[in-house]
């Protein structure tokens, strides 16, 4: 019976670790996308600032 509890506890730990890895991946992906968007926006602003007038 104790072995069954231990097995269950190990399975819960594995699931918890998987969820932590997925959360970390989502945070990293979100940060990467936000950084890409900010760089693109800065490029547009600089492009408009350097564009010759009419």
Task: Indicate if the pLDDT at residue 54 is higher than 80.
Answer: no
More confident residue, 33 or 52: 33
CA atoms within 13 Å, Cβ hemisphere of 46: 6
Q: Indicate the pLDDT class of residue 50, thresholds 50, 70 and 90.
A: very high
* pTM for this prediction: 0.64
State how far the Cα of 44 lies from the Cα of 27, in Å rounded to an integer.
Answer: 26
State how far the Cα of 15 lies from the Cα of 6, in Å rounded to an integer.
Answer: 14
State how far the Cα of 11 lies from the Cα of 25, in Å rounded to an integer.
Answer: 21
**Percent of all residues in the chain with a pLDDT value above 90, rounded to a whole number:** 85
Average pLDDT of the segment spanning 5-18? 96
State how far the Cα of 11 lies from the Cα of 17, in Å rounded to an integer.
Answer: 10
Question: What pLDDT score does 39 carry?
Answer: 98
């Amino acid at each position: 019976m104790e072995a069954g509890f231990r097995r269950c506890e190990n399975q819960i730990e594995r699931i918890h670790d998987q969820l932590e890895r997925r959360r970390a991946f989502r945070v990293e992906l979100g940060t990467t996308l936000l950084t890409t968007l900010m760089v693109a926006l800065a490029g547009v602003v600089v492009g408009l600032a350097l564009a010759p007038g009419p």
